[in-house]
């Protein structure tokens, strides 16, 4: 049995007249008057379907082939031939078709061949991978993840897993989920019995535990020994903001490098973004072309532009001046010392610079305790990268490597030295300048696909009031 994928056949790698076996699901069936059925088959290996020609000489043509509907699973033995149709170069003439799974009730099958809205598809998240759009998104996600690992490897970074369960609020934003043992197992099955006064959160670990918001602090420990490391894993934030850019569970790539300063990691971040986007355009041009047709006609042009231009740099203080003097009415106030709102970020990246922009050296009071204090004693060596249409995609900084300054920052943030004893040790024993950043993987996905809502670029999105599947 010469088992191949649809992508193997459509790329022209297998010579004509070869006998092959192929497995997949029916997208559509069309019957001609000449008693020939055309079956469009998909198997997830590429966007385009494979056309299977089924003639009435097949033993099950009348009883089974003519009853096939969208979603049925089949296994086909046949030969590859040149197609006379205009839609495809090659097709497969079936010798034998075995039906593996029928659709229970085709008239109520949730994924018909017609177009569905993204909102509807979210309600059937377990079936939406069967659509062309989610298929394309899934292959793009895979390609980007692989490109990231390859890039980091080429640059000498070691991949380390950092813990998902933690006792630390790295970002100090208190958007953490608690982790507790479920001694009341019955609660899982009888949620009504949940007693809200139960507090078993400390029983297992001996202290309160949470789902991590970032692997950075642990990554720093490894960077301070192995020089260049990165983590790439899920992170969690109890985000109530119901936007199309926030998830409660999302993936983050966090490089951390000893002996690098803010400017060094800015260069690294720009290189990383450009390199993986180029790889995507080369490797998944079929899916990108599909997105051009279905989502956004400009997407490839926009991505090519992003890989070719130099990103703009601006100091936070300069950005504030610019926003104050640009003669534009904003809904939210602009003050030095306050965070920029998304309307301000949009103005900078979409209207003023019309390209990616890196904002540097934010005021210390709006950034996390670990960022390195600048000589002005007011700002920290931090950076955010903003992309047009997305807003912040990367946040990073040089870390405070001087113990006395770190202690000052802990105190200013009402954090205790005792709690951070091991993090302080990194400064007590052979401290080095070091820096890193976090790239939100799903934000990257919405940027490269043009898909509007972040819930559609991760398989089973988790957001407030949404934990189905
Ligand atoms: O800017 P953030 O909070 O930075 C950190 O967590 C640092 N510890 C990273 C580091 O220096 N190692 O988050 C980094 C990125 C953001 O720029 C954004 O792209 C993404 O993570 N992000 C989210 N993506 C989806 N949903 C959310 N709720 C997100 N919050 C942050
Ligand atoms: Mg940030």
**Per-residue pLDDT tens for 86-133?**
888 899 999 999 999 999 999 999 998 788 999 999 999 999 999 999
- Name the band, by pLDDT with cuts 50, 70 and 90, for residue 84: confident
**pLDDT tens digits, one per residue of 275-311:** 999 999 999 999 999 999 999 999 999 999 999 999 9
State residue 353's pLDDT score.
95
For residues 424 and 328, membership in a common domain is answered with yes
For residues 249 and 313, membership in a common domain is answered with yes
Total count of domains within the chain: 2
Atom of ligand 1 nearest to the CA of 396: 11
CA distance 193 to 183: 13
Question: Which residue CA neighbors atom 21 of ligand 1 most closely?
Answer: 440
Domain that holds residue 30: 6-114
Q: Is residue 205 part of a domain?
A: no
Quick one: which of 16, 13, 76, 11 has its CA closest to 41? 76
List the 165-166 sheet strands across, edge first: 165-166, 209-211, 178-179
Task: Tell me the β-bridge partners of 228.
Answer: 257
Q: Is residue 82 part of a domain?
A: yes
Query: Is the CB of 237 within 6 Å of ligand 1?
Result: yes
Q: Is residue 299 part of a domain?
A: yes
For residues 77 and 169, membership in a common domain is answered with no
Nearest ligand for residue 245 CA: 1
Q: Scanning the structure block, which residue is given the tokens 């649809």?
A: 6
State residue 197's pLDDT score.
47
For residues 44 and 147, membership in a common domain is answered with no
Q: Is residue 192 part of a domain?
A: no
For residues 94 and 219, membership in a common domain is answered with no
Average of pLDDT values for 446-451? Answer: 98
Query: Is the CB of 442 within 6 Å of ligand 1?
Result: yes
For residues 348 and 396, membership in a common domain is answered with yes
For residues 143 and 58, membership in a common domain is answered with no
Least confident of 3-17, 187-201, 313-327, 344-358: 187-201
**pLDDT tens digits, one per residue of 378-391:** 999 999 999 999 99
- CATH number (domain holding residue 249): 3.30.930.10
For residues 339 and 446, membership in a common domain is answered with yes
- CATH number (domain holding residue 80): 2.40.50.140
Nearest ligand for residue 236 CA: 1
Residue 43 has pLDDT above 80, yes or no: yes
457 in Cβ contact with 451 (< 8 Å): yes
User: CB under 8 Å, gap of 24 or more: what pairs does 154-159 form?
Assistant: 155/228, 155/268, 156/227, 156/228, 157/228, 157/229, 157/230, 157/255, 157/257, 158/222, 158/226, 158/228, 158/229, 158/230, 159/229, 159/230, 159/231, 159/232
Q: Is residue 468 part of a domain?
A: no
How do 50-55 and 90-101 pair as beta strands? parallel
CA distance 214 to 417: 20
Atom of ligand 1 nearest to the CA of 246: 26
For residues 83 and 148, membership in a common domain is answered with no
> Hey, how many other C-beta atoms are within 10 angstroms of the C-beta on 3?
10
Ligand 2 centre distance from Cα of residue 302 (Å): 24
Residue 67 has pLDDT above 60, yes or no: yes
Residue 198 has pLDDT above 60, yes or no: no
Nearest ligand for residue 397 CA: 1
For residues 29 and 83, membership in a common domain is answered with yes
For residues 303 and 419, membership in a common domain is answered with yes
State residue 182's pLDDT score.
73
For residues 371 and 288, membership in a common domain is answered with yes
Q: Is residue 85 part of a domain?
A: yes
Ligand 2 centre distance from Cα of residue 381 (Å): 13
Question: Which residue CA neighbors atom 27 of ligand 1 most closely?
Answer: 246
Q: Is residue 339 part of a domain?
A: yes
Q: Is residue 461 part of a domain?
A: no
């Amino acid at each position: 049995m010469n088992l191949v994928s649809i992508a193997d056949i459509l790329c022209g790698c297998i010579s004509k007249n070869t006998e092959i076996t192929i497995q997949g699901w029916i997208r559509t069936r069309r019957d001609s008057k000449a008693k020939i059925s055309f079956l469009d088959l998909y198997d997830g290996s590429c966007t385009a379907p494979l056309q299977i020609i089924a003639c009435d000489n097949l033993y099950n043509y009348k009883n089974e082939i003519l009853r096939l509907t969208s979603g049925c699973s089949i296994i086909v033995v046949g030969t590859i031939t040149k197609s006379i149709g205009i839609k495809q170069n090659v097709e497969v003439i079936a010798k034998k078709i075995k039906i593996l799974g029928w659709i229970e009730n085709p008239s109520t099958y949730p994924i018909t061949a017609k177009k569905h809205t993204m909102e509807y598809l979210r309600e059937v998240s377990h079936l939406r991978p069967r659509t062309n759009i989610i298929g394309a998104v899934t292959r793009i996600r895979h390609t980007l993840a692989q490109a990231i690992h390859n890039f980091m490897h080429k640059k000498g970074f070691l991949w380390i897993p950092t813990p998902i369960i933690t006792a630390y609020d790295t970002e100090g934003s208190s958007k953490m989920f608690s982790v507790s043992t479920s001694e009341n197992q019955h609660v899982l099955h009888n949620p009504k019995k949940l007693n809200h006064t139960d507090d078993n959160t400390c029983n297992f670990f001996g202290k309160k535990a949470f789902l991590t918001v970032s692997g950075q602090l642990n990554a720093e420990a490894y960077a301070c020994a192995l020089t260049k490391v990165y983590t790439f894993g899920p992170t969690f934030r109890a985000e109530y903001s119901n936007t199309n850019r926030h998830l409660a569970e999302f993936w983050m790539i966090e490089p951390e490098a000893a002996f690098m300063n803010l400017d060094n990691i800015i260069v690294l971040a720009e290189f990383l973004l450009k390199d993986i986007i180029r790889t995507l355009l080369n490797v998944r041009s079929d899916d990108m072309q599909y997105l051009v047709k279905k989502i956004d006609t400009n997407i490839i042009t926009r991505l090519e532009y992003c890989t070719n231009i130099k990103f703009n740099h601006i100091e936070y203080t300069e950005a504030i001046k610019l926003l104050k003097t640009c003669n534009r009415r904003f809904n939210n106030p602009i003050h030095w010392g306050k965070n920029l709102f998304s309307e301000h970020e949009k103005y900078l990246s979409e209207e003023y610079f019309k390209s990616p922009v890196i904002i540097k050296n934010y005021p210390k009071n709006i950034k996390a305790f670990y960022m390195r204090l600048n000589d002005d004693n007011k700002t920290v060596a931090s950076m955010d990268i903003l992309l047009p249409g997305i807003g912040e995609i990367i946040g990073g900084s040089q870390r405070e490597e001087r113990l006395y300054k770190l202690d000052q920052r802990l105190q200013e943030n009402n954090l205790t030295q005792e709690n951070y004893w091991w993090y302080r040790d990194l400064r007590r024993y052979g401290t080095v300048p070091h820096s890193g950043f976090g790239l939100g993987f799903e934000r990257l996905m919405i940027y490269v696909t043009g898909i509007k809502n972040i819930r559609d670029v991760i398989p089973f999105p988790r957001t407030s009031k949404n934990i189905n599947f």
